[in-house]
Amino acid sequence: MTITSLSELEALKARIDQNVSDKVKILMSLGTCGLAAGGSKVFDAINESIAGQGLEDCYEAVPVGCMGLCYCEPTIELRDNSGKSIIYGNVSAEQIPAILKAGLSGAPAGTTEVERTWYCPEDEANTHKALQARIALRNTGRINPELIEDYIQRGGYLALGKALSSMKPAEVSQLVLDANLRGRGGAGFPTGRKWQFAAAQPKGKKYMICNADEGDPGAFMDRAVLEGDPHAVLEAMAIGGYAIGSDTGIIYIRAEYPLAITRLRIAIDQARAMGFLGKNIFNSGFDFDIELKYGAGAFVCGEETALIHSVEGKRGEPTVKPPFPAVQGLWKHPTIVNNVETYANVAAIIRKGAAWFKTVGTAGSPGTKVFALAGKVNHVGLVEVPMGTTLRDIIYGLGGGISKDRNFKAVQTGGPSGGCITKKDLDTPIDFETLKAIGSMMGSGGMIVMDEDDCMVNIARFFLEFTCDESCGKCTPCRIGNHRLYEMLTDICHGKGTPETLAELRNLAQVIKDTALCGLGQTSPNPVLSTLSSFADEYEAHVKEKRCPAGVCERLVRFTINEKCVGCGICARNCPATAITGATKKRHVIDQDKCIKCGVCFDKCKFKAIDKQ
Amino acid sequence: MTMVNLKINDMPVSVPEGSTILEAAQALGIKIPTLCHCKMDCLGVEHKAGSCRICVVELANRPTLAPSCCTPVAEGMVVKTNSQRAISARRTVLGLLLSNHPKDCLVCAMNQQCDLQRLAHEFDMHEVKYPGAQTEFPIDVSSGAIRRDMNKCVMCRRCETACNVVQTVGVLSGINRGFEATVGPEELKPLIETSCTFCGQCVVSCPVGALTEISYKDDVWREINDPSKHVVVQTAPSVRVALGEEFGLPAGSVTTGKMVAALRRLGFAKVFDTDFSADLTIMEEGTELINRIKTGKNLPLLTSCCPGWVNFFEHQFPDLLHMPSTAKSPQQMFGSIAKSYYAEKVGVAPKDMVVVSIMPCLAKKYEAARPEFEHNGVRDVDYVLSTRELASMIKEAGVMFNALKDEEYDNPLGESTGAAVIFGASGGVLEAALRTANDILSGKDIKEIDFVDIRGLEGIKEATVKVGGMDLRVAVCSGLGNARKLLTKIRKGEADYHAIEIMACPGGCINGGGQPYTGSNISILEKRKNAVYQVDKVMPIRKSHQNPSIAKLYKDYLGEPGSQLAHKLLHTHYFAR
């Protein structure tokens, strides 16, 4: 069936609405994460249980995308048409019969009920003061991503229909600009402005690219959208294509996302079959189609010029801008590169308008941001919060606080390009500007929480190791400079650093930031610079006292024997380096020159007489 | 032309729209140091990768420093080229480059010709700041022509531009990531296993010692000093107009006589001329052209003097192998004749004769080593030296080149005509062939012999010329990218020519990969080219078939052009690769 007008689409949506059953839906989180956690076994159990207990009239099992509750996968949500719902975490197949029996009346004993912390600003009020507002993720975890009807039922393709039948291309760009939707991929450039640049180029071939080459360590929001709500991206790309005068969309997706690729393929076929992609969409004369290109897993290909080269079959490395891709991009044609999450916001903006979008978030950064919360928090997962939410709310509210009751030390936002934020900034309402002001950046939304057991020098070294691996090697500062930074940090962690090393570390980091060719290189020293400024004392301890305060840097750990020693000799007998000596019943000593820091003495001592520093 | 106004170091300047900051600074007489950037005028491209970051400058309202070589000027721009921040950043960047560069300048082939060394001197660098790892790539000498030591590479990527953009050979590209990033063939294969043509344009583009020629100087010294060997040398047409530059003479100086004298001082038994065998090439190739025109078969005839071009068509156009002339190149013809006709004449066994070539070219090293040019364990040509290597030998031997009195080539393989010397510039081979074909087809000694339409440095030249009463459609092409364009047309049947001359290097052998470095200064090429035609103009004989030594060679030994013996000694065949 081909949809040729907005009214036909509205009629179709009405029919789907009418046919929605009264059954309670059992939504099963079956993104890559849910599947990895054994979700398909649980899903089978749900279906078997429904059939076995003859509950076909009561329940309908729906496979959905990621709900964002990574810490308690497998997760399911029981939900009726009125919106009443119960969410369960850590669900096992054995629990299913009891859960089905209880229905929406309450969680049975032995199950883990999870609090719902979000609302969708587009269709509900925030009655329970939820911290999360879902715009980009509004359908993710709610609909079957392989059924276009589910997407249409949630208002899908109405925005495209509206744009094509009642808006001029320039009005579409203007609306996105008015909403001040800013690029969710990193730098926060206004999407509408970008579209206007491309639209202003002479008529001819133009490209709409979706950057789905998500590569920040620990970031997976794009995958969640693509696996959970692929049509949202297709619809937005078509809208953008209409705005700039492009008939070709390309989704550059990393090959490591097979499930996302499968679901995108299904979605593209469905959209073509219904006429949302292809020729003469909504009978408006507008043609647009989308193809997939696979990335081979290079972080730098998230940089738009590098991405374009990769699509062209060339080595994925950036080139100097200008020319900007919006003027001269893929195959030298005007090209827009937007990230998945950016696209995921577009349809809602077209449906509800700029003013509505601006009611969420801050004045300078309207809307929401999805964060991948990871590291030392209790509730690792995906959260979408209004811009302006504080880190405290995210880490302690949504993240459930620091794991193992340790103390918070820092949080790294923006992945390897970002910086470490400390306790003093926990209450800063975060958006593009404030994050920059406190020495970090939004980046794609990775958020890695660190506690007192983390060594900040080692953390900086970890991120730098990542950038060294992922640098394309084109420009000198990134190719050689980052490697030298890494070597200096290694020296510091190994106790070979000097005060001069620290001074040179700072100088070189600053020059790399100042001279590298692309965003990757320019931001790569950020973890070093931010830890240098916030945790100077830790660096000093490594360099001057040859001591790692967090006890992480192995070569700096010092084992000593304190006054509790009773001279039992068990440490000396077990020391593989024969570094411990002492007379029986006398306090023993460790020869620091011989000690290999293996920690056997520390483990063997029954009297807490070994100190580890 | 729209002009853009900006300020550099507080000085106002107005430059055409689209200019770079670097160009605007030059207009003010301000020098900004550069490394990767290169106006590769001799190859007709500008290389601006923006990758080395040596040329960074400070801009008002820009948070980071800007690479001046590839940042276009904008109205109202405020630039500081010499601020503390810019200078210190440049020093740091240079320090980084030096930190991963071998410090063996004293024994580097590019000593005193290296851009990195020059920068280190200009920046007054006294220490290498960053100890730490250095890349350790194996050195590739597999080709026998080009030495690749990627430990010296500064990732300027000029070689890639030469290989991919200009020559469209596509062998070199960026490879690996991060600190291990380098430039090389796919999977860092040895060059010999790739479709490299060994044209050597990557070598002349390299600002450091990462790409150099493989030198055979030591072998030649050994042979010269072996009393059991009769060592003869041949000199390619374009060497005589470029060698002088290595001794401080102005570009375009014709140093034929000094070169001959110097070669004698080095100890070669006989100093012969590739120009002799260039005349011989015209006899064979010209005869082939006349036959093909008469029969109308296998047209167009493509010239086959240039080994870079031969490698290119074997790899890229294996379906067109019937088109190139089967005539060997002048270098190889010389070797064949030296080790047969001449060897018999002087009574030296071929195995005791050593033929050394002085060539403007690196592909000639590869050509000489091709298996088909060896018979019974005897190679046609034993060693090939570049113009640069010859200059180095002359210096090493303490020969005061500029003070030498002119001397003449030895005979019989030293006599040549004006038609032969123009082989050194693009268009010359075809012009020489046309001079001979015109006389033979018309049966007259035609006086109008200057085919000026096919001279010059342009990449593709086309003309219709009257030869023997016929209109011949000819083309001359230099640079493999241009060759690809022309060959693609021919493959599609969109072009009909009778003859095409193709040279791998833009401008021909005067711009060969073995010539003295020009720094891509095109005026040097112009002067070399003019010198070639100047030599031709003053030659007493200017047509190959009128060379008396050639006539005697056919009369006494070969019979006639295209004879059975001529085919055995002077023709070859090609391989699809």
A186: pLDDT strictly greater than 80: no
Q: What is the CATH number of the domain that holds A80?
A: 3.40.30.10
| Residues A413 and A518 grouped into a single domain | no
B469: pLDDT strictly greater than 90: no
A483: chain B residues, CB-CB within 8 Å: 132-133, 178-179
Whole-angstrom CA distances from B337 to A360, B106, B226, B272, B281 are 88, 41, 22, 12, 12
Q: Within a domain: residue B306?
A: yes
| Predicted pLDDT at B454 | 95
At A181, give phi and psi (nearest 5°): -70, 125
Give yes or no for B135 touching A (CB within 8 A).
no
Looking at residues A460-477, what average pLDDT do you find? 95
Closest residue by Cα to residue B364 from B428, B308, B326, B429: B308
Q: Are B178 and A322 in contact (CB < 8 Å)? A: no
B104: pLDDT strictly greater than 90: yes
Q: What is the CATH number of the domain that holds A468?
A: 1.20.1440.230
Give yes or no for B176 touching A (CB within 8 A).
yes
CA B280, B285, B290 angle in degrees (round to 5)? Answer: 125
Q: Are A483 and B71 in contact (CB < 8 Å)? A: no
A415: pLDDT strictly greater than 90: no
| Residues A325 and A268 grouped into a single domain | yes
Q: Within a domain: residue B333?
A: yes
- For A423, the domain range is 368-451
| Residues B432 and B484 grouped into a single domain | yes
Give yes or no for B163 touching A (CB within 8 A).
no
Higher pLDDT, B359 or B131: B359
| Predicted pLDDT at A439 | 85
Last residue of a domain, one of A356, A382, A408: A356
A201: pLDDT strictly greater than 80: yes
| Residue ranges with strand state E in B139-210 | 146-148, 173-175, 182-184
| pLDDT single digits (tens) B269-281 | 999 999 999 999 9
Give yes or no for B51 touching A (CB within 8 A).
yes
| Residues B222 and B160 grouped into a single domain | no
| Predicted pLDDT at A319 | 93
Q: How confident is the model at residue A123 (pLDDT cuts 50, 70, 90)?
A: confident
| Residues B341 and B457 grouped into a single domain | yes
Q: Within a domain: residue A35?
A: yes
**End-to-end CA distance of chain A, in Å?**
71
Give yes or no for B71 touching A (CB within 8 A).
yes
Q: Are A479 and B174 in contact (CB < 8 Å)? A: no
Burial A422-433 (b: 16+ CB within 10 A, else e): beebbebebbbe
- For B301, the domain range is 217-570
As annotated, the active-site residues of B are 285, 288, 305, 325, 364, 367, 372, 509
Looking at residues A196-215, what average pLDDT do you find? 96
Looking at residues B375-402, what average pLDDT do you find? 97
Q: What is the CATH number of the domain that holds B35?
A: 3.10.20.740
Q: Which tokens go with A219?
A: 């970031």
| Predicted pLDDT at A354 | 97
Residues with Cβ within 8 Å of residue A379, at least 6 apart in sequence: A69, A71, A72, A373, A398, A399, A400
| Whether residue A322 has a cis bond before it, omega within 30° of 0 | yes
pTM for this predicted structure: 0.92
Measured distance CA(A364)–CA(A188) in Å, rounded = 10
Q: Are A487 and B92 in contact (CB < 8 Å)? A: no
| Residues A190 and A283 grouped into a single domain | yes
State the CB neighbour count (10 A cutoff) for residue B251. Answer: 19
- Chosen for mutation from B21, B71, B152, B177 (greatest number of chain A CBs closer than 10 Å) is B177
Q: Which residue among B85, B93, B155 sits closest to A474, beta carbon to beta carbon?
A: B155
Q: Which residue among A315, A484, A517 sits closest to B173, beta carbon to beta carbon?
A: A315
Q: Are A322 and B93 in contact (CB < 8 Å)? A: no
| pLDDT single digits (tens) B513-567 | 999 999 999 999 999 999 999 999 999 999 999 999 999 999 999 999 999 999 9
A476: chain B residues, CB-CB within 8 Å: 51-54, 93, 96-97, 154-155
| pLDDT single digits (tens) A214-231 | 988 888 999 999 999 999
Last residue of a domain, one of B185, B213, B241: B213
| Residues A489 and A381 grouped into a single domain | no
Last residue of a domain, one of B180, B213, B246: B213
| Residues A201 and A346 grouped into a single domain | yes
Q: Are A484 and B130 in contact (CB < 8 Å)? A: yes
A397: pLDDT strictly greater than 80: yes
A475: chain B residues, CB-CB within 8 Å: 50-53
| Residues B33 and B148 grouped into a single domain | no
A1: pLDDT strictly greater than 90: no
Looking at residues A90-98, what average pLDDT do you find? 95
| Predicted pLDDT at A217 | 84
| Residues A540 and A463 grouped into a single domain | yes
The count of domains in chain A is: 5
| Residues B117 and B256 grouped into a single domain | no
Measured distance CA(A368)–CA(A361) in Å, rounded = 6
Looking at residues B483-505, what average pLDDT do you find? 95
Last residue of a domain, one of A330, A356, A382: A356
Residues B252/B527, Cβ–Cβ less than 8 Å: yes
Whole-angstrom CA distances from B532 to A78, B465, B516 are 89, 22, 16
| Residues A530 and A562 grouped into a single domain | no
The count of domains in chain B is: 3
| Predicted pLDDT at A297 | 83
At B498, give phi and psi (nearest 5°): -90, -35
Q: Which long-range contacts (CB under 8 A, 24 or more apart) does B290-296 make?
A: B290/B437, B290/B440, B290/B441, B291/B562, B292/B498, B293/B470, B293/B472, B293/B498
- Say how far residue A18 (Cα) sits from the centre of its chain: 36
A472: chain B residues, CB-CB within 8 Å: 174, 177-178, 181
| pLDDT single digits (tens) A476-535 | 999 999 999 999 999 999 999 999 999 999 999 999 999 999 999 999 999 999 999 999
| Residues A429 and A476 grouped into a single domain | no
| Residues A528 and A566 grouped into a single domain | no
Looking at residues B445-453, what average pLDDT do you find? 93
Contacts A–B by Cβ distance under 8 A: 109
ipTM value: 0.93
Residues with Cβ within 8 Å of residue B409, at least 6 apart in sequence: B260, B271, B272, B273, B415, B416
Q: Which tokens go with A417?
A: 């390009």
| Predicted pLDDT at A118 | 92
A484: chain B residues, CB-CB within 8 Å: 96, 99, 130, 132
Last residue of a domain, one of B53, B76, B99: B99
A613: pLDDT strictly greater than 80: no
Could you tell me where the DSSP H helices lie in A20-127? 32-36, 39-52, 96-102
B161: chain A residues, CB-CB within 8 Å: none
* Percent above pLDDT 70 for chain A: 100
| Residues A79 and A195 grouped into a single domain | no
| Residues A185 and A313 grouped into a single domain | yes
Nearest CA-CA distance, residue B173 and chain A, Å: 8
| Residue ranges with strand state E in B266-362 | 270-273, 301-302, 353-359
Q: Which residue among A471, A477, A513 sits closest to B93, beta carbon to beta carbon?
A: A477
| pLDDT single digits (tens) B312-346 | 999 999 999 999 999 999 999 999 999 999 999 99
Measured distance CA(B62)–CA(B46) in Å, rounded = 26
| Residue ranges with strand state E in B360-486 | 374-375, 378-379, 383-386, 460-467, 470-478
Q: Which tokens go with A577?
A: 């380096």
Measured distance CA(A594)–CA(A584) in Å, rounded = 21
CA B463, B464, B466 angle in degrees (round to 5)? Answer: 135
Residues with Cβ within 8 Å of residue A84, at least 6 apart in sequence: A104
| Residues A321 and A377 grouped into a single domain | no
Q: How confident is the model at residue A29 (pLDDT cuts 50, 70, 90)?
A: very high
